[in-house]
Structure 1
Amino acid sequence: MGILDTLRSVLGVRAETDAASAADPDALFGMSTAYVTMEANLGYGPAGAAALCFSSVDSTAFADAVDEVETILHAGKEETGTTFHRYEDDHGYHWVVLEDDDPEDLVTSVHFAADEFVEQEFGSRLLAAVFGFESKKNGRAYWVYSFRRGAYYPFCPSGDHERNNRTEFKLQSVLESELDVESDESYWYPLWPDSAGGHPWE
């Protein structure tokens, strides 16, 4: 897992101090129209995967909440075919990774999972939701939703630990009317994978 230690300051402690609002899973539905715009206006198709990142707490109540999230996703799999798996990365963060060729199903499943954490009063443990896109010409791009900031930001990796800032700003300009994009670029944190070409959650 390639999330660097500074994720703790950007999406965790620092963002909690500078939090713009409480976690609002309903903001994730903005991605339903963003998927269409990304493909029609920018040539980025859905990557068929998205992920929810959260921090854990050592309590029975939290473990029960995570179990309930898995129960909901298992039930959803019967309806939508969305598959998922969960793991803990090297920095102690937990991920629910969802895969589905239908972007609407991905948005719905990520929302269900995030909403359950909020319902169980663990919304403060939510860090980010990450939605993947791919372009034959420009490679991969991601929209990251920071629950602590209540805003999205684009991340476009290019090569080994480099990012395509020009494309990120283009995504911002095209999608800012549909998504609440983070205005403070210091919060546009790069989520590097361990190996070149991998997703942030790999």
Structure 2
Amino acid sequence: MFSISSAYITLEVKLGLKVTGRCAVTFKTVSGTFFYEMEQDIKRFLTSLQPEFDLAYRAVTDSYGYMWIVFEGKRIEDLLAALTATGDMVEEKGFSDQLLAAVFEFANERQGGGHQYLIYNYRRNNFYPFVPTGQKTRDTEQEMIMMSAIGEEMPFEKDMTLWYPLWDLPLKSPG
């Protein structure tokens, strides 16, 4: 996942995609004490990071029962460290099968600021692009352009049928 720490520069130079300062990790919630304790541990850990890093976070549960830990910050390095540490905590607590994805948001300055995403699939250990264009529609041509720009720099999913759309991403600031 750390390959994004350099690939974002290529995306900006080649395609005009700027990091928005928002990313998220998502995992399926389960009932039970151990999962609840893990959630509390994650929140305590992230709260302890806030004085040291310029970083905010919030937890959101979507309509499918997935919890999203959404991060906002100015430095991609801080965002990546917090996101990776959160994923590691989920794995260490025995819930690695619940991890779905990490999502990194970019704004396309050359095309009116529309949002584009790189999604990291935990199960397949690779990235794929996602460019939503409206209600349940996507721009596969732009996704291919993103992949070709950074496909050599990071592990990319070659099978496009596995580029699963994640609709209604909760990355925008509430309110």
TM-score by length of 2: 0.91
Alignment length (residue pairs): 169
CA distance in 1, matches of 2:14, 2:110: 14
Letter in 2 for 1:130: V
- Cα deviation, 1:127-168, whole Å, max 9, x if unaligned, reads 000000001223211000111121110001123332111111
Q: 2:14 aligns with which of 41, 49, 74?
A: 41
Question: Does structure 1 conserve the Cα–Cα contact (< 8 Å) formed by 2:21 and 2:72?
Answer: yes
- Cα deviation, 1:67-109, whole Å, max 9, x if unaligned, reads 1111111111111121001021111111101111211111111
Q: Counterpart of 1:119? A: 92
Question: Does structure 2 conserve the Cα–Cα contact (< 8 Å) formed by 1:56 and 1:93?
Answer: yes
Structure with greater contact order relative to length (CA < 8 Å, sep ≥ 6): 1
- Confirm whether residue 190 of structure 1 aligns to residue 159 of structure 2: no
Within-5 A mapping of 1:15-164: 28-138=1-111, 139-164=114-139
More strand by percentage: 2
Question: Does structure 2 conserve the Cα–Cα contact (< 8 Å) formed by 1:130 and 1:144?
Answer: yes
CA distance in 1, matches of 2:61, 2:138: 25
Question: Does structure 1 conserve the Cα–Cα contact (< 8 Å) formed by 2:54 and 2:74?
Answer: no
Of all paired residues, the percent bearing the same amino acid is 33
Unaligned runs of 5+ in 1: 1-27, 194-199
CA distance in 2, matches of 1:188, 1:134: 20
CA distance in 2, matches of 1:88, 1:186: 26
Question: Does structure 1 conserve the Cα–Cα contact (< 8 Å) formed by 2:118 and 2:128?
Answer: yes
Task: Give RMSD over aligned pairs.
Answer: 1.3
Q: Counterpart of 2:143? A: 168
For residue 23 of structure 2, give the secondary structure of its aligned residue in structure 1.
Answer: strand
CA shift, 1:175, in A, is 1.0
Letter in 2 for 1:132: E
Letter in 1 for 2:23: A
